[in-house]
Structure 1
Amino acid sequence: MQDFASAAMVRLLVRAMAAHGLVPPPPPPVADGLAASHVPLAYKRSVVEAVLHQGGLGTLLQLAQRVDLLAGDPVHRALLGASSPPELMARWQRLERYVHSRHQVSITASIPGELALRHHARPGVPEEPHPTESLAVLGVLVGASQALDVRGLRVEIGAPEAAGHRVNLRMEAPVATPAELHAQLAPLAAQKLLGHWTLHWEHHDSNAPTTPTQQPQPATHLCDALPWPPLAHQLARHVLQDPAALHTVDALAQHTGLARRSLQRALTESGLSCRHIVTEARARVAAQWLLESPHGLAEIGFACGFADQPHFTREFARHVGLTPARYRQAFAGECMAEPQKLSI
């Protein structure tokens, strides 16, 4: 069986290579190229090797931070809906589960303003991630944190117990050059310590959400035509602002300022429920992505807040009448039915 990797990560690296004057490998020989949700693991590794050959470890870390080059992708929208590094990590971990990643990032310690993380193989996976794969994941997490306007961000790389074998990187300007970064990271790569990280940032005791400047404007109007009462429309617009968030009943009640039971009772009187409103909103966002983008079903399902692929397929079909694949096939039109070429 062939192993696969997340196409979103590979798209980011390929686009960043082109933007920085490097030459990426030819697109993988699969039907949808990099527009699918997954690409062969061998292709991902060929991209990483191309970056290393042309620029080194420092260039790999810096290119992986260019999350702005994923703007328009559902994964970009979902990750940058976070308001803090801990929430970003929760979304990243859900993405790993959704796409059945062979490797995962685990939180080994957490205090306000600090997260200790480890990138490692999932249970049952015999092969640990290559140090350069860990470095690429770290770059994406750092780049996403920067896009969230996190202040004072710095990263320690290396196992906590490896005294004298840790690199402390300040991620705000002025930053080290790629050559300087390579010199610092190469010894850790040789010792396979690039999968241990501690993120530090300025913590603020504030519940006020932040709005990332790179976040696309959400389509909050998608449920407006439904014959729902104002309370239901208020909830739908809230869900559509960030469908990837965990919209629990308690969270929705807090948003409306109502007690949990009062909210449920008010919706029941109109024949509605929190679950129905949330799923209807997510299904409509997913339908828009299916019709207007070439992105894979797994990425769209994740970005729209569904728990996994079977959940996406089941709930979308229940609300729309067709599975996501059949819906795209039936309504996307000839331009979307044709194989998509890589756009960088």
Structure 2
Amino acid sequence: MNDFASEAMLRLVRAGLQRQGLAADGPPPVRRALVALADKRAWLDRLWRVHGPDVIVRLGEAVHVMDDEPLLLALSLARDPTDLLQRWQRLERFVHSRHRVRVERREPGLLRVHHVSLDPRQPPTAAEDLLVFGLLTAVCERIEAPGLQARSIGVAGWSRSQRRWRTHAWPDDVSTWELRWQARPTSPPCSPPPGDSDRWIKQLQARLAADPGRGWTVDALASDTATSARTLQRRLTRRGMSFQQLLSTARLTGAARLLAASAMPTAEVGYVCGFSDQAHFTRQFKQHTAMTPAVYRGAFAVSAGL
């Protein structure tokens, strides 16, 4: 990965090493400067050689103490492991990562995924595989996926169960993993009771604003607000509004607030607020405000050194 995601991953590795009582040497801490890909891979490979795979897969547990990391907070809003994986895949596309997590099998309460490279001549290293595996497993626990179990395919039994990693020999290929959890039952939607239409609109807006990075659809919003998609669309149409209008406003408003009140990198703001890539973010924001995100920040950022 590059840009803000790469920086966040370096901070995760450092925090994960410190959590295990190990020296956090390696590339210098960064916020806005990039670290060469070769340096990052060399660091992970050296950690593997010196400490072994068990240390690598445990690095992801640092998510439990990194409450100030915006990227992890955005991932932690996921409702279940399937939603988390979709957010991770959007992150891979947003930062143009050379690696991808592909779904091989999906069932209620089950995911089997494969970590691959867009360039088959340069596959992920085993250390990169286990780092991503451990991170996604830890975030699944952070969102409290009930009964979560995880393993690398080829390992007998579960590598991770009851929030503990089991010590065992890892297979040569650790690029394919399986996650299991207890899927929560879904409640059938019902029509909302009659009431104040303005209050209902505000409830929809608040729900979208609370998690703008979610892959929202009409069906998802309807389910979250205990109504049917058809009823939701009909009620919005009566108000001269649309689902896409509500979603776009929530994402752009959230982005404007972050640009003005935080030091979060511009690209990270775009990801956290649900845009598909940085170009899409810049284009939509300029259409809405007549300014690019960078110009908007320069004009309206609070006087706190931003």
Q: TM-score, normalised by structure 1?
A: 0.75
2:68 equivalent to 1:72:
yes
Q: State the match for 2:150 in structure 1.
A: 155
Q: Deviations over 1:34-71 (max 9, x none)?
A: 32496432342244245435532111111223212432
Q: 1:170 to 1:251 in 2, by over 3 A?
A: closer
Does the aligned pair in 2 maintain the 1:60–1:136 contact within 8 Å? yes
- The alpha carbon displacement at 1:138 in A equals 0.3
Gaps of 5+ in 1: 160-164, 209-227, 338-344
Q: Is the 8 A contact 1:232 1:267 kept in 2?
A: no
CA change 1:27–1:331 in 2 (3 A) is farther
Mapping of residues 194-343 of structure 1, within 5 Å:
194-207=174-187, 229-254=198-223, 255=225, 257=227, 259-268=231-240, 272-332=241-301, 335-337=304-306
Shift of 1:131: 0.8
Q: Which of 79, 97, 102 is 1:101 aligned to?
A: 97
1:289–1:207 CA distance, 2 compared to 1 (3 A): farther
Does the Cα contact within 8 Å between 2:27 and 2:40 map onto a contact in 1?
A: no
Distance in 2, Cα, partners of 1:54 & 1:169: 21
**Which residue does the alignment assign to 2:191?**
none
CA distance in 1, matches of 2:297, 2:27: 24
Aligned to 1:162: none
The residue aligned with 1:168 is 158
Is structure 2 residue 10 aligned with structure 1 residue 14?
Answer: no
CA distance in 2, matches of 1:19, 1:106: 30
Say if 2:13 and 2:59, in contact at 8 Å, map to a contact too: yes
Residue 143 of structure 1: SS of its match in structure 2? helix
| Structure 1 letter corresponding to 2:234 | S
One-letter amino acid of the counterpart of residue 154, structure 1 = Q
- Counterpart for residue 139 of structure 1: 134
- In 2, Cα distance between the equivalents of 1:139 and 1:174? 11
For residues 328 and 126 of structure 1, do their structure 2 counterparts lie closer, same or farther at Cα, with a shift above 3 Å needed? farther
CA contact (8 A) 2:2 2:34 kept: no
Q: Is the Cα contact below 8 Å between 1:102 and 1:125 reproduced in 2?
A: no
| Amino acid aligned to 2:41 | R
Seen in structure 2, the aligned counterparts of structure 1 residues 151 and 175 have a Cα distance that, compared at 3 Å, is same
Specify whether residues 318 and 336 from structure 1 end up closer, same or farther in structure 2 by C-alpha distance, changes over 3 A only.
farther
- 1:199 aligned partner, one-letter code: L
Displacement of 1:329 after TM fit?
2.8
Q: Distance in 1 between matches of 2:303 and 2:236?
A: 43
Aligned-pair distance for 1:145?
0.7
Matches within 5 A, 1:114-125: 114-122=110-118, 124=119
Letter of the 1:15 partner, please give it: A
Matched, 1:34 2:3: no
With CA pairs under 8 Å and 6+ residues apart, which has the higher RCO, 1 or 2?
1
Q: Deviations over 1:160-213 (max 9, x none)?
A: xxxxx656313315543xxx35xx12xx2xx3x1111111222332459xxxxx
**Which runs of 5 or more structure 2 residues have no equivalent in the other structure?**
189-196
Report the AA paired with residue 105 of structure 2: A
Shift of 1:230: 3.4
TM-score (norm 2): 0.84
CA RMSD in angstroms, aligned pairs only: 2.9
278-287 vs 19-28, greater mean Cα deviation: 19-28
Whether contact under 8 Å (2:100, 2:116) holds in the other structure is: yes
The secondary structure found in structure 2 opposite 1:35 is coil
Aligned residues of 2:27 and 2:35 also touching (Cα < 8 A)? no
Q: 1:66 to 1:207 in 2, by over 3 A?
A: farther
State the number of aligned residues. 294
